[in-house]
Structure 1
Amino acid sequence: MSHAVVSHDEWLAARREFLKAEKRLTHLRDEVAAQRAALPWLRVDKPYVFDTLEGPRTLAELFDGRSQLIIQHFMFAPGWAQGCPSCSFMADHTDGMNLHLANHDVTMLAVSRAPLADIERYRQRMGWSFRWVSSHGNSFNRDFRVTFTPEEVASGHIDYNFGEWDETGEEWPGVSAFLKDENGAVFRTYSTFGRGVEVMMGTYAMLDIAPKGRNEAEGMEWLRRHDQYVKA
């Protein structure tokens, strides 16, 4: 690996100059966060019911006594032997975050279309503790544009990430946020798709400051489920 090697003073000067760009990014991130918080809300009136380990639960009941809910739209369809590797990479970060989110009035969990028994089998294999529920019996995934019909896939484009998407597939990732008011009404406040789901990938933030960065030749082809790295 070839890279410039300089004196201490030159290194410090370069680092100070780059700090200006980092500060611009920090300020822009704050501005975008403020715009996100100011977005209008969408009331969710559809009576979604999910299969959970505690029995059937409505969307409002998934809040688990808190006023805010974040859902990972986890790619795991009926008939799949295991969950998507990139969604699994995302989910590897959830348990650590949940310790803090719960104390900030936020419940976070995953939703997939796979039957609950398949979800639970895979969750146990991965050693995760977070709640993961099934939307197998409802239209939640379709309504949130993370599941697509064979006809949509065959058409060569799908309505994903708030626009026409030329890559196609049955399942796609996403993250959605909700608020429940004092009267029990539920509102969709935000959803993000595509590279927006990197909000869950703290590992990427650390790789970005490592000397070789993400070091990806072809997308996320380097990625393995965490119990497959040794085998790989």
Structure 2
Amino acid sequence: MSSNALPPVVDAKAWQRELDALRVREKAATRELDAIAAQRRRLPMVEMPEYTLQSAEGPVRLVDLFEDKKQLIVYNHMWFPGEKWQCSGCTGFTSQYSRLDFLAQWDARFVIVTQGPIDEALAYKERVGNPMTWYSTAGGPFGADVGAPPGAGFAVNVFLRDGDKVYRTWHTDGRGCEQLSHTFALIDLLPYGRQEEWQDVPDGWPQSPTYSRWMESQKYAELYGADGA
């Protein structure tokens, strides 16, 4: 990092003018996100067939994942067979959600579904200290049908229940998941941002190869999980 990697120093009035100019764009982005959410609420939905998944207590139907709630968010966690440490991005993303009981006020749950066998998935959950409820779709078509087939990527899916019928209402993957994360929201507030080489930054700002600052799954285990305990 250059010794000159510092924002210019100005007086308080000049700083406020620059902040006010930025605030115009921030408010416009907020209004656009409101409009996107309004469009999302108007999306049609598709009825899902019956699926059987595995839970810590044994086989469950997809509708059972809702418990007594009407809405369900599912994070499809990447899984690599035979590996002790699973996707660091998925591990880090889901480590943020330590307190989810508040969703009950909105008649919703948020759970993890992975392609890993349930016993291995639960062992990994314990290893990295993940407090979410995990289910497995190993050997079943659910993951593939919602954009997260075996050996492939991660996804977020949202479902709505009407009685015993389940409907898929929304899906995203890749950087579409960022809006659900506070990790990058906090880092993007910092003067140096994510410090990844693809970002637009002033000359001399610290930059590293993409993903190089991301923690490995072992580190999450050291911080939060059974390995750390």
5+ residue gaps, structure 2, are: 197-207, 223-229
How far apart in 1 are the matches of 2:183 and 2:63? Answer: 31
Cα pair 2:85 2:217 within 8 Å, conserved: no
How far apart in 2 are the matches of 1:140 and 1:122? Answer: 21
- The equivalent of 2:199 in structure 1 is none
Q: Does 1:43 align with 2:47?
A: yes
- Secondary structure in 1 matching 2:98: helix
For each residue in 1:7-54, what CA deviation from the matched residue of structure 2 results, as whole angstroms up to 9, or x when unmatched?
111001111111100111011000000011111000102x21111111
Q: Does 1:91 align with 2:91?
A: no
- The equivalent of 1:111 in structure 2 is 113
How far apart in 2 are the matches of 1:34 and 1:219? Answer: 33
- The equivalent of 1:212 in structure 2 is 192
1:227: Cα distance to partner?
4.6
Q: Does 1:17 align with 2:21?
A: yes
- The equivalent of 1:152 in structure 2 is none
- The equivalent of 1:57 in structure 2 is 60
- The equivalent of 1:32 in structure 2 is 36
- The equivalent of 1:203 in structure 2 is 183
Summarize the Cα distance change of 1:230–1:67 in structure 2 as closer, same or farther, 3 Å threshold: closer
Taking structure 2 as the reference length, the TM-score comes to 0.85
Taking structure 1 as the reference length, the TM-score comes to 0.84
- Secondary structure in 2 matching 1:95: coil
How far apart in 1 are the matches of 2:105 and 2:128? Answer: 25
1:125: Cα distance to partner?
1.1
Instruction: Tell me the percent identity.
Output: 29
- Secondary structure in 2 matching 1:171: coil
5+ residue gaps, structure 1, are: 149-169
1:100: Cα distance to partner?
1.5
1:80: Cα distance to partner?
2.6
How far apart in 1 are the matches of 2:21 and 2:28? Answer: 12
- Secondary structure in 1 matching 2:156: strand
Cα pair 2:85 2:218 within 8 Å, conserved: no
1:58: Cα distance to partner?
0.6
Q: Show structure 1 runs of 4+ deviating over 4 A.
A: none
How far apart in 2 are the matches of 1:108 and 1:74? Answer: 13
- Secondary structure in 2 matching 1:107: strand
- The equivalent of 2:155 in structure 1 is 174
How far apart in 1 are the matches of 2:57 and 2:119? Answer: 13
Question: Aligned ranges for residues 87-166 of structure 1 at < 5 Å?
Answer: 87-96=90-99, 98-147=100-149
- Secondary structure in 1 matching 2:102: helix
What's the C-alpha RMSD, in Å, of the aligned pairs?
1.8
How far apart in 2 are the matches of 1:77 and 1:15? Answer: 45
